[in-house]
Amino acid sequence: MKYANSVIDLIGDTPLVRLNQVTQGLRATILVKLEYLNPGGSIKDRIALKMVEEAEQSGALRPGGTVVEPTSGNTGVGLALVAQQKGYRTVFVTPDKVGEEKRDVLRAYGGEVVVTASSVPPESPYSYYGVSDRLTREIPGAYKPDQFSNPAAPASHYETTGPEIWRDTDGRITHAVIGAGTGGTITGTGRYLKEVSRDRPSGPVRIIGADPDGSVYSGGTGRPYFLEGVGEDMWPGNYDPEVADEVVPVTDAESFAMTRRLAREEGLLVGGSSGMAVVAALRAAQDLTEDDVVVVILPDGGRGYLAKIFNDDWMGRHGFPLEQHPAGEDGNDG
């Protein structure tokens, strides 16, 4: 019989698939790694598992304990499912600007959700951060993983995401394109790929960061953008600026148009940060040859963005073009 002992055992080992349509005219092989096939629907399942396991080993999390994290997104889902399987309670702190549907997902997994006002300053005891710190102090046996600074997050990618990519490309990968939010994915995956390829004749894997235009990683000031899960207005502890050889800024408009093309043309219903990473990859691939193998990490699926990126009215209201075609095409997509 072929089965997993628990849903936790299905985390990781995601497949690579080649892009065939949006890459027309390019000579390099462009492969994408489908992180939405993790059981919680995103790459964050990997860090959730590692952060909880490390906390168990260090004694920070003991039987009957509670995981408390300020998150409304993918990390919450990963933590909710890992904690539930291991018998821990979860409390997630989310700002009120986060959509009700995201909170409902956390509750569906059995998580408890505490809502905080977005209108108070970050240093207030009633803010998102203030409340999660207080709950961590007050709930007996509480443990706050803190994905922005927990070294287990990049370590999970160093131990799983990076080695999977190296193995599945038979060591032929030449470029990795990775978006940065907390920085854990690019730091852990990029560090592994550079180290393992350091001495090969063709040189180490080149690590290309993809970043929302306006975010600090690509030289911005933290100016707002619509892309979710990526970019920062501060430098988190888990982002190692030594890992990326370059960081490419990508606009919301370019990212969303590509996200829609990935669904329509490649059959990949993914989130906006995936479209962003593919835009950066195609730009980098302009100068590459048939010997080059580019791997792009696609962090999550598109279901959570149906009312935004995949909604024509929302796109129009924010002035985003629905489709963007490469130069030379007539723009008629039938």
Alpha-carbon distance 190 to 157, whole Å?
9
Place of tokens 């963005």: 305
* Number of Cβ atoms within 10 Å of the Cβ of 29: 20
Catalytic residue, chosen from 2, 33, 44, 86, is 44
Strand partners, 113: 92
Question: CB-wise, 224 or 316, nearer to ligand PMP?
Answer: 224
Question: CB-wise, 177 or 288, nearer to ligand PMP?
Answer: 177
C-beta nearest to ligand PMP: residue:
229
212 binding ligand PMP? (CB under 6 A)? no
Question: CB-wise, 65 or 229, nearer to ligand PMP?
Answer: 229
Is 44 catalytic? The answer is: yes
In the list 156, 162, 300, 302, the residue contacting ligand PMP (rule: CB under 6 A) is: 300
181 binding ligand PMP? (CB under 6 A)? yes
309 binding ligand PMP? (CB under 6 A)? no
- Give the interface segment with ligand PMP, choosing from 87-95, 167-175, 224-232, 312-320 (CB under 6 A): 224-232
273 binding ligand PMP? (CB under 6 A)? yes
74 binding ligand PMP? (CB under 6 A)? yes
H/E stretch holding 31 reads strand 29-34
Place of tokens 């994915």: 185
**Close Cβ partners of 276 (under 8 Å, ≥ 6 residues apart):** 179, 210, 211, 212, 227, 230, 250, 254, 255, 258, 259
Alpha-carbon distance 192 to 11, whole Å?
19
Distance of CA 315 to the CA centre of its chain: 22
Alpha-carbon distance 116 to 98, whole Å?
10
Quote the strand ranges of 131-205, DSSP E: 142-143, 175-179
73 binding ligand PMP? (CB under 6 A)? yes
Taking CA atoms, 90 is separated from 52, 71, 93, 134, 304, in Å, by 12, 11, 10, 15, 21
In the list 180, 205, 295, 309, the residue contacting ligand PMP (rule: CB under 6 A) is: 180
- Rounded to 5 degrees, φ, ψ at 306 are -60, -35
162 binding ligand PMP? (CB under 6 A)? no
In the list 72, 136, 161, 185, the residue contacting ligand PMP (rule: CB under 6 A) is: 185
Q: Return the residues of window 81-110 that contact ligand PMP according to CB under 6 A.
A: none
209 binding ligand PMP? (CB under 6 A)? no
For residues 225 to 264, the per-residue mask of contacts with ligand PMP, x marking binding by CB under 6 A and - elsewhere, is: ---xxx----------------------------------
Question: CB-wise, 65 or 94, nearer to ligand PMP?
Answer: 94
Binding-site size for ligand PMP (CB under 6 A) equals 16
- Alpha helices of the chain — where are they, by DSSP H? 44-58, 74-86, 100-108, 128-138, 152-156, 162-168, 184-196, 252-266, 272-285, 312-317
Give the binding site for ligand PMP (CB under 6 A). Answer: 73-74, 179-185, 228-230, 271, 273, 299-300
Residues marked active site are found at 44
